[in-house]
Amino acid sequence: MKALTSSSSVAILGAGLMGRLLACTLARKGCEVALYDAGGPGAEGSAARVAAAMLAPLAESAITEPSVVRMGHHALARWPQLIAQLTTQLAEPVFFQQEGTLILWHRQDAPEAARLTRQLQATQRQLPELPTAHNLDAGGIAALEPCLGTHFGQGLFLPGEGQLDNRALLTALLQTLQQTGVALHWHSPRAPEQFQPGTPGQPDWVFDCRGLGARPEWPALRGVRGEVLRVFAPEVGLTRPTRLVHPRYPLYIAPKPNHVYVIGATEIESDDLSPASVRSTLELLSAAYSVHSGFAEARILEIATQCRPALPDNLPALRTLGPNVLQINGLYRHGFMIAPAVLDAVLELVETGDDQLARRFALRIETP
């Protein structure tokens, strides 16, 4: 494997979150970068466009492995640095918030909340670097989110967790790609076998970040469908990501700028990208209304579906297809939460040959 340097030429396949982050980073290092995507600059086909973009490692520990939690904790410190590096002329900076996660439950779901609390406590014992979760009573909840009043009697607060505006970030990354001279090839799908790195007229490195588009070369990939609503709700007033404990649909509500809220919960083992079902939509809206009655007067801006790329263990992995050809995939529902950690591990690997970060994050490096 030839080390990647500032004089290397690079082809990146896929212009979702991972592809754009990698392209911007390598272009700033001086590499000659070409980015290929099957879609257009708006990232309409990317799971990153639909995501809630919550950065909640402790909250996500309820459904994922400690390695992913560790990556998420690393990424919380990296996101402000990455956002600050974007050389765009946007009227406003990319929204980034680190005000913690609020977890709530209705009285009938107290047993499920107790189970979740035990899971979070176990994670904190295993990863003591994480901030400690705080138990809240009705007054504590009202102090954090006055708009909720005393509607909920108990909750948990996970300090230090965050979120960002995914669509503003994708736009900022696009503008940075344009300003740094990256060769952008839209509506131009490419596969790794179309390149021969290191030969005359070919790039020195190929990075495959196509998500589900890489299934022909990585058959273990599968799609996990999610259904997400965006609503305009000026009467609500939540200021931080809020999760509702429920045995069937553990809801999340992520407030974005200008009174927009992203609401989601569903996960379906399917790569079906048809419109959202009536049942899922009703459940999401009903659960959101149970958190705050102001959602009754909200305006539905969008009901979207997405399929997140996942491997059998729901963990990310790297895969070498040959000399200087690397696939990056399997970020599942944790794309925004772990992308900076995966980025840093990839850079260390290709620039130095060292896999220290990959081992720290238990990030697998496979060969076919």
Q: What is the pLDDT of residue 267?
A: 72
What is the pLDDT confidence band of residue 132, given thresholds at 50, 70 and 90? very high
347, amino acid identity = L
For the beta sheet containing 154-158, the strands, ordered from the edge strand earlier in sequence to the opposite edge, are 134-137, 154-158, 101-104, 242-244, 251-256, 260-264, 222-232, 299-310
181: region left, alpha or beta (phi > 0 left; psi from -120 to 50 alpha):
left
Q: What is the pLDDT of residue 90?
A: 67
- Helix 17-28 to helix 166-179 angle (10° resolution) is 40
Locate 197 and state its tokens.
Answer: 């790195």
Q: What is the CATH number of domain 9-53+166-217+312-366?
A: 3.50.50.60
357, amino acid identity = L
Every domain of the chain and the residues it spans? 9-53+166-217+312-366, 101-159+222-310
Assess whether the region 9-53+166-217+312-366 and the region 101-159+222-310 belong to the same CATH fold: no
Alpha carbons 282 and 354: distance in angstroms, whole number: 49
Q: State the average pLDDT over residues 321-337.
A: 96
Q: Which pLDDT tens digit goes with each residue over 40-51?
A: 999 988 999 999
Q: What is the pLDDT of residue 88?
A: 65
- Whether the predicted pLDDT of 89 surpasses 70: no
Q: Which pLDDT tens digit goes with each residue over 200-219?
A: 999 999 999 999 999 999 99
- Whether the predicted pLDDT of 63 surpasses 70: yes
Locate 6 and state its tokens.
Answer: 């500032």
Fold of 101-159+222-310: D-Amino Acid Oxidase; Chain A, domain 2 (3.30.9)
Q: Which pLDDT tens digit goes with each residue over 227-274?
A: 999 999 999 999 999 999 987 777 999 999 999 999 998 677 778 888
Q: CA distances (Å), 158 to each of 137, 272, 337, in order? A: 14, 34, 15
Q: What is the pLDDT of residue 120?
A: 96
Q: What is the pLDDT of residue 246?
A: 84
